[in-house]
Structure 1
Amino acid sequence: MPSPATQDAVDTPAIEFRGVVKQFGDNTVLDGLDFTVAKGDRVTLIGPSGSGKTTILRLLMTLEESDGGLIFVDGEPYTHEMRGDKRVARSEKQRGLVRRRVGMVFQQFNLFPNMTVLENIIEAPIHVLGWPKAKAVDKAEHLLELVGLSDKRDARPTQLSGGQQQRVAIARACAMEPDIMLLDEVTSALDPELVADVLGVLRNIAETTDITMLIVTHEMQFAREVSNRVLMFDGGKIIEEADPETIFTSPENERTQEFLRAVL
């Protein structure tokens, strides 16, 4: 039987939003959002454009600042904390230490065009994590094998197809050994024939690691295969959540039914 401390660590969510508010001018995108993602979960966010899905990922990457509420990563306050009854910003150093646990793969590949594939992957482990170059190279070569691009280590991003660039971006995110991986419409910029390769790589990572994934995608089949939980968003709120089989075959909410009829 695990000790109380061990059990607490297991029970602590990987991600927790408590009453999170995000506004853009007069538009409230997230309105007191509460949700959690357990460690090792693969959670997919679905819903219409503008419903707040990508904003959640951007808050977790500190690309946006919340206007209210608290975000926790592995039980630790992320960008803000409560001191007495006041919500105060955490320091950049404190944020940075938590931020290292979170990796993201974007819609656009965001590779450095002046660097080789290998150099793109080893850059952050060396300069952010302080790894020796040999360790970073070993890790990068393993990841390039994982994503099927060992023969492209010395190529420049401009010499790769979009699907290959996205697979490099996935390898680069994995190189930081994050506890949490955020995936933001990672196939939306790809030609249809390239989508299967990228989704296959992500499916393999989901099946062979215990990394926590938070996914925004319009690839419903991918969501169905990889997720163990799906959240339907509308108007900055979760209006339905269930396991993939339930939500894709017998959703209860009328708005979910309407959305799925439009995208399936």
Structure 2
Amino acid sequence: MSADPRTELIRFENVTKRFGDNTVLDDLCFSVEPGRHVTLIGPSGSGKTTILRLLMTLEKPDAGTIEVDGGRLFPADERQRREVRKKIGMVFQQFNLFPNMSVLRNVTEAPVRVLGLGKDEAEQRGRELLDLVGLADKCDAGPSQLSGGQQQRVAIARALAMRPRVLLLDEVTSALDPELVAGVLDLLRDIARSTDITMLCVTHEMSFARDISDEVFMFDSGKVIESGPPAKIFTDPENERTRDFLGAVL
């Protein structure tokens, strides 16, 4: 998992995170190179979502350093953290759309407020992204007028509107009805294939992980216990814990 530091986009070095007496991440070290699509798999409670929350600065580590694109998230002051955070977009399990805003404004609000884009430029970009996710005709609709799958597509467009270097995906289909899952996963596959955005994905959809990943990290008890290309991890894992986990979910 070590990489030439000149080519690392994300770097966790000796990161520990505790919640009370529970150590969720235990002296964690890993790195991700630019443009790579990395999927984190493992049992619930193994620390996968905590990694994404640390990158979003929704949590702070108890020890260690986290860097993104040469800038430090932790330890760092708030100004440094905000600058690095601009390079990261996240799509959550829940859609978290602003209920009082139109679909288009949900997509344009952060680029205007955070990136300082002009309203016209932001709206043009927002309309292009809503077209990309198949919702060009929903710009003026409210979130409550959309299905769950459509709301998640808006959330994906909103994350992309920030022009992130890194896109974080946290179980993005877990809140969807089963018949809506395939459409959202197909959209993410298209984004993975057609852009150079670095993706860090937490999912229990193993076929999706196999399709989009350049590398898969298997987590257990706050550590990466095995990593490699999906063909290796899913067909010939070396670690017994990986074999047991995949045997239970595949």
- TM range, normalised to the smaller chain? over 0.9
Q: Which amino acid aligns with 2:190?
A: N
2:74 and 2:87 map into 1 onto residues whose CA distance is 14
Give the structure 1 partner of residue 214 of structure 2: 228
Matched, 1:177 2:163: yes
Q: Equivalences for 1:1-264 in 2 at 5 Å?
A: 11-80=6-75, 90-264=76-250
**Deviation of residue 102 (structure 1)?**
0.5
Q: Which amino acid aligns with 1:56?
A: I
Give the fraction of aligned pairs with identical amino acids, expressed as a percent.
66
Q: Which amino acid aligns with 1:123?
A: E
Q: Deviations over 1:123-147 (max 9, x none)?
A: 0011111111110011001101110
**Deviation of residue 12 (structure 1)?**
2.7
Residue 59 of structure 1 aligns to a residue whose secondary structure is helix
1:198 and 1:46 map into 2 onto residues whose CA distance is 19
Give TM-score, length-normalised by structure 2.
Answer: 0.97
Identify unmatched segments of 5+ residues in structure 1: 1-7, 81-89
Q: Deviations over 1:11-62 (max 9, x none)?
A: 3311000000000011111110000000000000000000000000000000
Q: Which amino acid aligns with 1:261?
A: G
Contact conserved, 2:18 with 2:62, CA < 8 A, in 1? yes
Contact conserved, 1:12 with 1:75, CA < 8 A, in 2? no
**Deviation of residue 75 (structure 1)?**
2.1
Contact conserved, 1:19 with 1:32, CA < 8 A, in 2? yes
1:212 and 1:218 map into 2 onto residues whose CA distance is 19
Q: Deviations over 1:233-252 (max 9, x none)?
A: 00000111110011111111
2:61 and 2:160 map into 1 onto residues whose CA distance is 26
Identify unmatched segments of 5+ residues in structure 2: none
1:106 and 1:175 map into 2 onto residues whose CA distance is 15
Contact conserved, 2:64 with 2:74, CA < 8 A, in 1? no
Residue 78 of structure 1 aligns to a residue whose secondary structure is strand
Contact conserved, 1:12 with 1:74, CA < 8 A, in 2? no
Q: Deviations over 1:213-244 (max 9, x none)?
A: 00000000000000000000000001111100
Which aligned runs of 4 or more in structure 1 are off by greater than 6 angstroms? none
**Deviation of residue 173 (structure 1)?**
0.3
2:35 and 2:117 map into 1 onto residues whose CA distance is 26
Q: Give the number of the structure whose alpha-carbon radius of gyration is greater.
A: 1
CA RMSD of aligned residues (A): 1.0
Q: Which amino acid aligns with 1:252?
A: E
**Deviation of residue 79 (structure 1)?**
2.3
Contact conserved, 2:103 with 2:138, CA < 8 A, in 1? yes
Give TM-score, length-normalised by structure 1.
Answer: 0.92
Contact conserved, 2:133 with 2:154, CA < 8 A, in 1? yes
2:122 and 2:70 map into 1 onto residues whose CA distance is 29
2:160 and 2:203 map into 1 onto residues whose CA distance is 19
Contact conserved, 1:29 with 1:50, CA < 8 A, in 2? yes
**Deviation of residue 73 (structure 1)?**
0.6
